[in-house]
A and B are shown apart, each in its own frame.
Chain A
């Protein structure tokens, strides 16, 4: 069972690394945000799930596991809201897009208003 917990932690570290590398390499603000969701989903969820398994199996502390599960619920509810807000604010304050962008329906519709 220990090996499952270790694999989960290593996997989530790998995904967090991929997210950080993506943040450095992507061309503009929006694609960087896309890459950062890699960190904020698997990077966090893997560690938390490993924590749940560890506290049930090795610590025998079910209330700790329940607290971690509640943490997952709140994390999944609140973290995307910051994502919407940052992306929308970036667009409205005219952050430059990469020239590779192929369609921009949002900009077209904003100009019509």
Chain B
């Protein structure tokens, strides 16, 4: 089991406290000037306890990676614009397929290569692929230093690994690499 480092502890503490402010609605009260100090202090205590236990699972290296404002805005931009556009395209084509004929479906399990290395980047790529209708990530493996994803794809026309990968990942992979690496 990994040990909790101080950087990981403070990184987790900040995330916890921000979420406390968001879900108790205090972040609005701070701006209007009627924040209750009891809620703020209680949130601090709860955040400290939680991050003491959870920091070693939450952050493994580079604790303040996402606190860089450029990276954070890249993340927001990716989630809203790039990923949103992929979602719209995939949702419409999947909805048409649901009402259309199911006789000429060509589902298949394909294996696609990826250049991403870090854990968070791989998790984000496979979650993005799963959230897009029409593709589900089933497994991630590492072979000879390269990472591969097994994806169940409802329209696996392309036998070629690289081409199928380009089709499934779309514009998502370069953006995720920009955010996490």
Contacts and interface: CB of A to CB of B under 8 A. Distances in A.
B107 interface: yes
Contacts of A98: 105, 107
Contacts, number: 146
With most chain B CB atoms within 10 A of its CB, the pick from A37, A97, A101 is A37
A31 B130 contact: no
A66 B87 contact: no
The size bracket of the interface on A is: 35 or more
A25 B102 contact: yes
A41 B95 contact: no
A17 to B, nearest CB: 9
Contacts of B118: none
B126 interface: yes
Interface residues of B, number: 43
B19 interface: yes
A106 B132 CA distance: 20
Interface in A23-63: 25-28, 30-31, 33-35, 37-38, 40-42, 45, 62-63
Contact of A105 (B87, B98, B107, B109): B109
Interface in B92-127: 94-95, 97-99, 102, 105-111, 126-127
B28 interface: yes
Interface of B: 19, 22-23, 25, 27-29, 79, 87, 91, 94-95, 97-99, 102, 105-111, 126-128, 130-139, 141, 150, 152, 154, 156-157, 159
16 contacts: A14-B95, A31-B102, A31-B107, A31-B154, A33-B136, A37-B132, A37-B136, A38-B91, A66-B23, A67-B25, A79-B131, A80-B127, A84-B138, A91-B138, A100-B107, A106-B139
